[in-house]
Amino acid sequence: MTTKLLISRRKLLQTSAAGAALGFLPYSGSVQAATSATVGFIYVGPKDDYGYNQSHAEGAAALKDIAGIKVVEEENVPETVDVQKTMESMINLDGASLIFPTSFGYFDPHMLAMAAKYPKVQFRHCGGLWNKDKNPMNAGSYFGYIGMGQYLNGIAAGHATKSKKLGFVAAKPIPQVLLNINSFLLGARAVDPTITVQVIFTGEWSLAVKEAEATNALIDQGADVITCHVDSPKVVVQTAAGRGAFICGYHANQSPLAPDKYLTGAEWAWGTVYKMFIDKLQKGEPLPNFTRGGLAEGFVKMSPLGPGVNAEGRKQFEATLAEMMKGGFSVIKGPLKDNKGKEVVAAGKAYPETAIELESMDYLVDGVIGSTS
Amino acid sequence: MAGEIGLWGVPLAILGGAIRVSTPFIFVSLGETITERSGRINLGLEGTLVFGAMTAYGVAVETGSTWLGLLAAALSGICFGLFHGWICKFPKVNDIAIGIAMMLFGTGLAFFFGKPFIKPSAPHLPAIAFGFWSTIPQVQAALDVNVLFLIGAALSVLLWWAFKNTRAGLIIRVVGDSSDAARAMGINPNSVRLLATGVGGAFAAIGGAYLSLYYPGSWNERISSGQGLMAVALVIFARWNPLGCFAAALLFGGAGALGPSLQSVGVTQGYYLFYATPYVLTLAIMIATSSPGRSLAGAPGELSITK
Amino acid sequence: MGTPQIPAVSSLPIATSNLEGLARRSEAVAIPLAALLVGMVLFSVFIMLVGKSPLDFFDIMWRGAFGSWFSVQNSLSRAAPLLLTALCVALPARLGLVVIGGEGAIVLGGVAAAALGWWVDGASAFIVIPLMAIAGMIIGGLWMGIVGALRHYRAVNETISSLLMAYIAIALMNQLVEGVLRDPASLNKPSTHPLAQAYRIGNIPGMDVHWGLVAGIVACIISWLLIEKTRWGFAARIAGGNVRAAQIQGLAVGPLIVGFTALGGAFAGLAGMIEVAAVQGSANASLAAGYGYTGILVAFLARQNPLAIIPVAIFLGGIDAAGGLIQRRMDMPDATILVLQGMLFIIILFSETFYGRFVIFNPDLWKRSA
């Protein structure tokens, strides 16, 4: 392994030499031009979970064919001192110059501490709210407007439901999840304003039996379309299909698990994001610190519509999707009340997908049955 | 789907949950009862359970037969059990510690070889529709009873009877209570324990097969949330009585369904506490039914954990 | 298990030669090392069967665990919490109790420390940091003390009650962290209010390892002294062998059991406090990282000896630290390390059967064979 270590060290030397030759660094956020680089990916769960971690691992796999780019990956890394040491190990032993810690819990304090300690290494985190006043300039965050996808899921669900009750299996009541639940409901209500969404929080990101129990409980209460926001939706999809309910997928395309019952799904397309970063890195351009994108930018995509979506549903789905592809679509717009009767968005006010306020959502809108605490 | 069942959903979910969720607990705890009655404790059944889940799923994917999957799981469980039983027969080897190491070993092997089976879908074990008399789909769904649950129920009665009334049951009990007495009867305690641990392993692996082939019915690295370890603990709770194991498993499964079903009928506050119900309830019953006077009635005398 | 044959220390000849003493001592090192070697050979077979090179594998393991100063510090950082959680198992084990629920004391100790640090925000760090440590220890101690009390006064089996209480503690922690103690600014990762920077525990000077390592080593030494050099430790050993005999001798078995489980819990609670003050900066679900369960393994590998816990925890930390490098360099899944740990630990635990069997380590047999 000595040779490998030497090579990566040499690679580092070359990299810094190239940077020095070009003689730039006008701003602290820039990276030295690098045609070759080692890029590290860190996942909180197994790489192949049919869900969140897999969506990132597929994005990382998209980089492996790019000349000069070496991808190093580590799975099942807990959000403790372990992840800090994993980042340091990627830097010190593999010569990584760009690291993507992909779990939300890696951001504060772990990635921020490492970014402060290794100012020459670039860190880009999935889902965090990077703040230029508080956080290091060699750090940053990226995320996608997947709530739009859940709105489209809601439209497909709204046309498929007969009971007018939809079910949502969610992990924890945090802003990213609440936005998805609300978007799902509002999408369905764009079809029929009497539709409600029942939510069950399982309290954990991955807990197979409880997710199955939650799915059964939702269907017992009459829900006939189920979606979810947990790390690995496989169990929810299979359980719901087994009970005869329709499904809207999440994170990745789960239609092979239940082709007849799968309506559509909101999928990540992280390959787009990672290729963008690598492209800039290889051209020697500064990496953006705060990156967001939606359907239009190719950060998020929809699974192909399944046989359960009728012609009318297909029409509304495609029309809305076309509208969203123009960018700046607003799902959250006033007048809007939360499910305790309090007005949360005034009439005339609208939050387009880009609105940063959406990333600190703390309410469930009227029509969602569930509680945020 | 059918109409509203409202608050009836809660008792129905508890009943359904007891039937759906309890099976792995039943099998692992019955298996461990046999092992512990013989005077050994195998804390590693969690690893056996996970390996069984993977083996059953993998074989079912490859052959299309759930029964072959189940058989393969049982065989793998026997191997793990016999290995534990064999290694613990050597003097000074601590059965609890070996169990913990076996837990890592079994889960590690299952994850290592289980990678290719995460994507494909395996067929499911059949269920019997005991809800045919009802027109309410929720009741029908809750009463879809898997054959393994029925086998588990039958086995718990059978074992309860066999411990009391058969020669094999007597031998296991004697070995568990006193190695010296067993030797005096001409029985080799180590051979009995070896077999008892092997059977225990097979049971645990079948419990795992239920997880991957029926409910929740999929294979991934998060399929078990510690059912194997909890089931070993339930054996102590059930005081080494097979009928008690069955009851404890039902209690655990039913109480576990409380959290999701309460949320589904609108009780949405404090769900973490509702999710803790099975643990609180089990602890409360243990405290209420234990007393220093008759400590651990039914505990096998040779068991390291109760000495 | 048969009857335990504990050689009474006093019956040994006092003036044994240095050579004999060395022989006795080296047994406890040589046998595990030999077992380790056998385990590595067996694992090499496994590695070859899956088509990889065992030489590469162990070379990378060494690099990742101890091959450089960076790797050593990496391993030590990972060992730090295990020192304390292993004591939560090893101390009650002196009394013959098998406690497996240290995880509960960690998470509640962490929450208590975080809540206290926020509550007294503004006071001097010299007061607050020790107070946080005490809060973590008291809560952890009470939690595990209940396990001991239930065992002695109500005959509730400690293995099952500690496991049940660990699940209950994690539920309580989640409810608190997402409820009354939640910092509204902790958006996507519900946490308590972050500790003021002054209340954070830093690194040991000159090292990239936090003070938790020192706390853990000190706790191991204190525990060893308690067991080996005090009358409580002596009494615990008697009670661990035979409760009735201890009671006949007039030993207060109840307070001993409660005291030892509570002390173990206090150390686990301290581990929780250190996680909050040195690593996380607040209490959240990441506190339940499994340190309590790994601690069980450490304690059993160390044969419940507090001093042996130190090298065992560092060894485990090293395997853990190298695991990431194995994933990256050899393109093998994370589970590889689980398989390795399982194999090594089974062999090491199995090797206990060889104690006292080799003539070379047993001076009593020298004369006989001579």
Of A86, A107, A175, the CB nearest to C324: A86
User: What tokens appear for C264 in the block?
Assistant: 């173990």
Best probe of the C interface among A80, A114, A177, A201, by most C CBs < 10 A, is: A80
Handedness of CA C321, C325, C327, C330 (dihedral sign): negative
Count CA atoms within 13 Å of residue C83 on its CB side. 28
Chains that touch A (3 or more CB pairs under 8 A): B, C
For residue B296, what pLDDT is reported? Answer: 57
Residue of A nearest to B10 (CA): A217
Give the Cα separation of C69 and B139 in Å (integer): 63
Q: Which residues contact A250 (CB under 8 A, 6 or more apart)?
A: A51, A150, A153, A180, A227, A228, A229, A233, A265, A266, A267
State the SS3 of C99-117: CCCHHHHHHHHHHHHHHHH
Give the Cα separation of B218 and C47 in Å (integer): 28
Element (H, E) at B144: strand B144-146
Helices (H), chain C: 18-49, 54-65, 69-93, 102-119, 125-154, 158-177, 212-229, 231-241, 243-248, 253-274, 291-301, 306-330, 335-350, 363-369
Phi–psi pair at A354, nearest 5 degrees: -80, -10
Question: Distance from A373 to chain B by nearest Cα, in Å?
Answer: 6
Question: Distance from A341 to chain C by nearest Cα, in Å?
Answer: 21
- Reduced to 3 states (helix: H, G, I; strand: E, B; else coil), residue A317 is helix
Residue of A nearest to B119 (CA): A50
Phi–psi pair at C327, nearest 5 degrees: -60, -40
Give the Cα separation of A336 and B101 in Å (integer): 56
Q: Cβ C187–A129 below 8 Å, yes or no?
A: yes
For chain C, the domains span: 81-322
Give the Cα separation of A233 and A227 in Å (integer): 9
For residue A165, what pLDDT is reported? Answer: 96
To 5 degrees, how large is the angle CA C264–CA C269–CA C275? Answer: 130
The DSSP letter of residue B145 is: E
Q: Cβ C342–B87 below 8 Å, yes or no?
A: no
Q: Quick check: A4 contacting C, CB < 8 Å?
A: yes
Give the Cα separation of A6 and A368 in Å (integer): 57
Of B1, B225, B265, the CB nearest to A219: B1
What is the band of B160 on the pLDDT scale with cuts at 50, 70, 90? very high
Name the pTM for this structure.
0.91
For residue C297, what pLDDT is reported? Answer: 94
Question: Distance from B105 to chain C by nearest Cα, in Å?
Answer: 4
Radius of gyration of chain B (CA): 20
For residue C368, what pLDDT is reported? Answer: 61
Give the Cα separation of C77 and C80 in Å (integer): 5
User: Which residues are B194's β-sheet partners?
Assistant: none
Q: Cβ C289–A92 below 8 Å, yes or no?
A: no
Give the Cα separation of B77 and B199 in Å (integer): 8
For residue B125, what are the CA distances in angstroms to A183, A209, B147, C25, C51? 37, 17, 8, 56, 35
Q: Which domains does chain B have, with CATH numbers?
A: 2-306 (1.10.3470)
Q: Cβ A174–C187 below 8 Å, yes or no?
A: yes
Count CA atoms within 13 Å of residue A308 on its CB side. 26
Residue of C nearest to A39 (CA): C328
Q: Cβ C157–B104 below 8 Å, yes or no?
A: no
Give the Cα separation of C310 and C302 in Å (integer): 8
Q: Cβ A213–B17 below 8 Å, yes or no?
A: yes
Chains that touch B (3 or more CB pairs under 8 A): A, C
Residue A111 · residue A131 · CB < 8 Å: no
B contact residues 28-87, partner A, Cβ 8 Å cutoff? none
Judge residue C2's burial from the number of C-beta atoms within 10 Å of its C-beta, 0-12 exposed, 13-18 middle, 19 or more buried. Answer: exposed
Each of the 370 residues of chain C gets a pLDDT tens digit; together they read 334 444 444 444 444 567 888 887 888 889 999 999 999 999 999 999 999 999 999 999 999 999 999 999 999 999 999 999 999 999 999 999 999 999 999 999 999 999 999 999 888 999 999 999 999 999 999 999 999 999 999 889 999 999 999 999 999 999 999 989 999 888 889 999 999 999 999 999 999 999 999 999 999 999 999 999 999 999 998 888 777 777 777 888 899 999 999 999 999 999 999 999 999 999 999 999 999 999 999 999 999 999 999 999 999 999 999 999 999 999 899 999 999 999 999 999 999 999 888 878 877 777 665 4
Phi–psi pair at A301, nearest 5 degrees: -145, 165
For residue A34, what pLDDT is reported? Answer: 56
Element (H, E) at A225: strand A225-229
pLDDT at B225 over 90: no
Residue B33 · residue B235 · CB < 8 Å: yes
Helices (H), chain A: 2-22, 52-61, 81-94, 112-117, 146-160, 175-189, 208-220, 234-242, 270-283, 311-324
- Reduced to 3 states (helix: H, G, I; strand: E, B; else coil), residue A269 is coil
A&C contacts, CB < 8 Å? 94
For residue B268, what pLDDT is reported? Answer: 82
Of A203, A222, A370, the CB nearest to B268: A370
Residue C138 · residue C112 · CB < 8 Å: yes
Residue C318 · residue C66 · CB < 8 Å: yes
- Reduced to 3 states (helix: H, G, I; strand: E, B; else coil), residue A75 is coil
pLDDT at B2 over 70: no
Q: Which residues contact A67 (CB under 8 A, 6 or more apart)?
A: A35
Best probe of the A interface among C56, C77, C177, C188, by most A CBs < 10 A, is: C188
Give the Cα separation of A172 and A202 in Å (integer): 7
Q: Cβ C175–B270 below 8 Å, yes or no?
A: yes
Residues of A in contact with C182 (CB under 8 A): 373
Q: Cβ A80–C178 below 8 Å, yes or no?
A: no
Residues of A in contact with B275 (CB under 8 A): 203, 210
Residues of A in contact with C70 (CB under 8 A): 88-89, 92-93
Residue C209 · residue C83 · CB < 8 Å: no
Report residues of chain A scoring pLDDT below 70.
1-34
For residue A3, the tally of other CB atoms under 10 A from its CB is 7
pLDDT over 90 percentage in chain B: 70
Residue of A nearest to B121 (CA): A257
Residues of B in contact with A218 (CB under 8 A): 264
